[in-house]
Structure 1
Amino acid sequence: MAGARVLLFTGKGGVGKTTLAAATGARLAVGGRKVLVASADPAHSLGDVFGRPLTHEPSEVDTCLYAAHVDARELVDKSWQDIRRQLRSWLAGVGLDELDAEELTVLPGVDELLALTEVARLARYGPWEVVVVDCGPTAETLRLLALPEAVATYVDRLLMPAVRANAAALGRLAKHLGELRRLLVNPNVTSVRLVLTPERLVVAETRRTLAALALRGIRVDSLVANRLVPRSRWGPAASWLRIRRAEQDAVLSELDASTPLRVHQVEHRAAEPVGVGPLLELAADLYGDADPLAAPFADSGDARPLLELHPLEGGGHELAIALPLTDSAELDLARVGDDLAVTVDGVRRLVALPVLLRSYTVADAYIDDRGLVLRFEGQE
């Protein structure tokens, strides 16, 4: 899929993801790339970070640097109402009364979905080389990233083939959903940067997020630990600073041992960075002389597939699901027809089993460095 490289910044609320997304965009622009930083967070604090008002239309912040707020409500008013109007008409034409038609055309999460499709549109058709997205807090972002697949399934099951065949508006929606899904799961185009602060509760949520994104087939290219206490040797506060920094280092050491992703560190700054100049100083702290799109900040793009199938000596097969699981992860497995329902820490996804395994049964399951490994036995 042609278009811009897409970086999605997310993390628990208050960890500084908006500031780091803006700093990354500023750094990329200084390097000569044409960059759009777009806020998909309903809080829309991106304008505050850049120190200027922003609208839904991209505006130039600095040379090669543009920014915008994605206004979900305006997108709903402009796009979704027309689709709903047409669908009500078609549904009524196949025997549903007006009330039923109205109820069936209220799709869940449509405003968030349209915000994400707008980001995809900007990435594919805009003049930018990179689109940096300031997403909402982690829980909202996970729900948002699950929407394209969920809503596509909802639409497919809700409407009869005869209706779909004659629904131009629905065809456009299906096309947008397909493009959006392909954009999100293409590791050479889209990746997530998880921002965290070095606190145990935040790190625990980060680990769950890594597993949830892997379950969706979405690549995380790096972790950013923000607001580390600066190291200090002198002054009356030095002892407190050393103790606090030692606590933070211990938390990050545990995180580093649990993931192959590199954890990049940013120290807490005395003044809140507002405007391009201070943001570039922050980016220098994070990236040094490196390119934000190059290793070690972004891997080569050769991400492991979600599913890997291997035959076993003596019969049977082994299916490895590439999930970064920890010992504390709550895992549940269930067979639903030809699908495997995998639930990790409350996040559920139906994984289509390879055709070869559909007549097999799960004989064993365990976790190793490949993720979740299932052993299948049975007759072909």
Structure 2
Amino acid sequence: MRTDVLVATRVLPEGAEDSWLAGPVAQQRKALAEWRETHDVRPVAHLGRDPRGADDLAALAVPGADTGPSAAEGPSAVEWPVTDSLADDGVLVWHIPLPGARREELDLIRRGDELVVTAGPFRRTVPLPSALRRCTVDGAALREGELRIRFRPDPRLWPRTG
């Protein structure tokens, strides 16, 4: 899974040069500079306490935090392509980019209408696209940085045609 953005939380104020925070601020500045060499970094200020709820996230303007009315609806399906191979192989194939992933560090768990993907120390829970929710997982393969998960239609949930 590619990292789109790094959110650096609890960023201390730069104006603290003459206080006891001078050391931590210098370390923070160095770490942020290193991260910016390879990633899009979005700093989020320190509240002096842990954020509590949507109001704090909105006040901090946390990148990617949806605090509007749609946040209550839950996550939307990820836009990774699904290939229809029903006519040839009887399966749908979901293509998930996982550059740098290694097979021995990969784990998949189907949990209801979600798929939990673990690649090394990284874990992400993603909602399944609508068509795949009516299928069972039939296998998976990792090739050239892409995870291909095969889904077979569940005859109890899939409408019959013809």
The TM-score normalised by the length of structure 1 is 0.25
Pick one of 180, 185, 203 that aligns with 2:63.
180
Q: Are 1:322 and 1:372, in contact at CA under 8 Å, matched by a contact in 2?
A: yes
Q: Are 2:44 and 2:60, in contact at CA under 8 Å, matched by a contact in 1?
A: no
Whether 1:307 and 2:84 are equivalent positions in the alignment is no
Structure 2 counterparts to residues 32-181 of structure 1, below 5 A: 43-44=27-28, 46=30, 75-77=46-48, 80=49, 110=50, 170-175=53-58, 180-181=63-64
The one-letter code of the counterpart of 1:311 is D
Structure 2 counterparts to residues 1-380 of structure 1, below 5 A: 43-44=27-28, 46=30, 75-77=46-48, 80=49, 110=50, 170-175=53-58, 180-181=63-64, 307-314=80-87, 315-327=90-102, 329-369=104-144, 371-379=146-154, 380=158
Task: Report the alpha carbon displacement of residue 362 of structure 1 after superposing the two structures with TM.
Answer: 0.8
3-state SS in 2 of match to 1:377: strand
Q: Return closer, same or farther for 1:331/1:306 CA change in 2, 3 Å cut-off.
A: farther
Distance in 1, Cα, partners of 2:111 & 2:104: 22
3-state SS in 2 of match to 1:180: coil
Task: Report the alpha carbon displacement of residue 317 of structure 1 after superposing the two structures with TM.
Answer: 0.8
Structure with larger Rg? 1
Task: Report the alpha carbon displacement of residue 370 of structure 1 after superposing the two structures with TM.
Answer: 5.5
Distance in 2, Cα, partners of 1:336 & 1:330: 19
- Paired-residue identity, %: 27
Q: Are 2:57 and 2:65, in contact at CA under 8 Å, matched by a contact in 1?
A: no
Distance in 1, Cα, partners of 2:26 & 2:82: 41
Q: Are 2:109 and 2:117, in contact at CA under 8 Å, matched by a contact in 1?
A: yes
Distance in 2, Cα, partners of 1:326 & 1:370: 7
Task: Report the alpha carbon displacement of residue 348 of structure 1 after superposing the two structures with TM.
Answer: 1.3
For 1:119-178, what per-residue CA distance to the aligned partner results, in whole angstroms no more than 9, with x for missing partners? xxxxxxxxxxxxxxxxxxxxxxxxxxxxxxxxxxxx7xxxxxxxxxxxxxx442354688
Q: Return closer, same or farther for 1:313/1:71 CA change in 2, 3 Å cut-off.
A: closer
Q: Return closer, same or farther for 1:310/1:71 CA change in 2, 3 Å cut-off.
A: closer
Task: Report the alpha carbon displacement of residue 358 of structure 1 after superposing the two structures with TM.
Answer: 0.8
Q: Are 2:141 and 2:147, in contact at CA under 8 Å, matched by a contact in 1?
A: yes
Q: Are 2:101 and 2:120, in contact at CA under 8 Å, matched by a contact in 1?
A: no
Q: Are 1:321 and 1:371, in contact at CA under 8 Å, matched by a contact in 2?
A: yes
The structure whose residues are more often helix, as a share, is 1
Structure 1 stretches of 4+ with a deviation exceeding 6 A read none
The one-letter code of the counterpart of 1:308 is P
Task: Report the alpha carbon displacement of residue 316 of structure 1 after superposing the two structures with TM.
Answer: 2.5
Question: What do you get for the CA RMSD once the two structures are aligned?
Answer: 3.9
- 1:136 is matched with which residue? none
Q: Are 2:82 and 2:95, in contact at CA under 8 Å, matched by a contact in 1?
A: yes
Task: Report the alpha carbon displacement of residue 71 of structure 1 after superposing the two structures with TM.
Answer: 9.1
The one-letter code of the counterpart of 1:180 is P
